[in-house]
Amino acid sequence: MWIPGFGRYTPREGNRVGDKAPDFTLTDHTGSAVRLHDQIGDLPVVLVFYPRASSPICTRQMCSLRDGWAELGRRARVFGLSYDGVEALRRFHDQDRLSITLLADPDRIAARAYGVNGLFAAARVTFVIGTDGRIAAVITDIDAGNHAGQILKTL
């Protein structure tokens, strides 16, 4: 169910399966800059857009990734993206002992590029980017409690 003010995936040239993944540079939960295209290489890259750090459903979703990390971390580079600032992401990461790198997108740079931006929050959508730098899959029907399994199945 879509909630007004939250993003919803809008497929368009540049963010669809087969398109070259839009590049961006964002700050991670430790304060370091992360450029997407520097991450592309020997493993697929997974971008997990989610609405809000520490909210109940988002926590369940990110904890699913943490709990599936043994396999997921071997098969892909995984990043969680939200509009939250670095401090909120750092607290979220530490409090829930998350394994993935969280990226702050308060200016909605990545969310706009991937067509998931909304007024208050990004859509809950995951993009899998192949080692060739192209979008290999888009997961729009997220099962928060089994998101790691959904990603692994897609990989």
Per-residue pLDDT of the chain (155 residues; tens, 9 = 90+): 556 667 778 888 889 999 999 999 999 999 999 999 999 999 999 999 999 999 888 999 999 999 999 999 999 999 999 999 999 999 999 999 999 999 999 999 999 999 999 989 999 999 999 999 999 999 999 999 999 999 999 99
Residue pointed to by tokens 């540079």: 25
Cα 11 to Cα 5, 50, 82, 148, distances in angstroms: 18, 17, 19, 23
Taking the CA atoms of 136, 139, 145 and 149 in sequence, report the sign of the dihedral they define.
Answer: negative
Is there a contact between 47 and 147 (Cβ–Cβ < 8 Å)? no
Q: Which two tokens stand for residue 136?
A: 């290999």
Quick check: helix, strand or coil at residue 123? coil
Domains and CATH numbers, the chain: 26-154 (3.40.30.10)
Question: Where in the sequence numbering do the catalytic residues fall?
Answer: 58
- Looking at residue 117, its amino acid is N
Cα 148 to Cα 62, 77, 153, distances in angstroms: 9, 13, 9
